[in-house]
């Protein structure tokens, strides 16, 4: 449905033997390393959600400045200007969460909670922002000419990949409950 440029598929290995000299890391730590990679990947997904949100917002903002209805630009209507204000606010909040999680990772701090928060917030906001962008563009938002329909399709997988929104809530709850 989305991320058409990403060739995603299952990979199967049957009776595969790996020589000891080709094994990366400690085999006893494989699952722990996998979870660490997954946690770091949540920041990448968050950044992708941020980029999609910014692109959809920019198109909606520009369109609202060009499109006229009833003799005035549609961004002069409160319903449209409020959507744009909410989109801008969500993007700024997303930036702070993503950049903070990335900074923590770069500085070797624990990122389990922060990566999950950034991923949950950014991916759900990407869906909301792309939905609002489609709404602002009306019928044009539903066709390929303006790309917001593609951003909408791409945003959906971000709520699923690297752990669904429900999984992020479990992780966040687990982490915050550790501190009491």
**What residues are labeled active site?**
162
Distances from the Cα of 133 to the Cα of 2, 70, 144, 152, angstroms = 17, 20, 13, 9
**C-alpha to C-alpha distances, 151 to 19, 25, 38, 134, 177, nearest whole angstrom:** 43, 37, 23, 10, 35
Query: Taking each helix axis from N to C terminus, what angle separates 78-106 and 112-137, rounded to the nearest 10 degrees?
Result: 160
């Amino acid at each position: 449905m989305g991320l058409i440029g990403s060739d995603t598929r299952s990979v199967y290995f049957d009776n595969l033997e790996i020589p000891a000299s080709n094994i990366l890391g400690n085999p006893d730590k494989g699952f722990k390393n996998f979870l660490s990679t997954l946690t770091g990947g949540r920041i990448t997904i968050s950044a992708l959600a941020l980029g999609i949100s910014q692109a959809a917002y920019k198109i909606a903002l520009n369109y609202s400045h060009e499109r006229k209805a009833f003799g005035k630009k549609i961004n002069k209507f409160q319903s449209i200007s409020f959507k744009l204000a909410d989109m801008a606010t969500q993007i700024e909040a997303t930036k702070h969460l993503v950049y903070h999680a990335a900074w923590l990772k770069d500085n070797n701090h624990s990122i389990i909670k922060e990566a999950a928060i950034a991923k949950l917030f950014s991916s759900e906001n990407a869906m909301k922002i792309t939905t609002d962008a489609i709404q602002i563009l009306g019928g044009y938002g539903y066709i390929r000419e303006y790309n917001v329909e593609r951003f909408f399709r791409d945003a959906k997988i971000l709520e699923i990949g690297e752990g669904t929104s429900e999984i992020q809530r479990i992780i966040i709850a687990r982490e915050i409950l550790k501190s009491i």
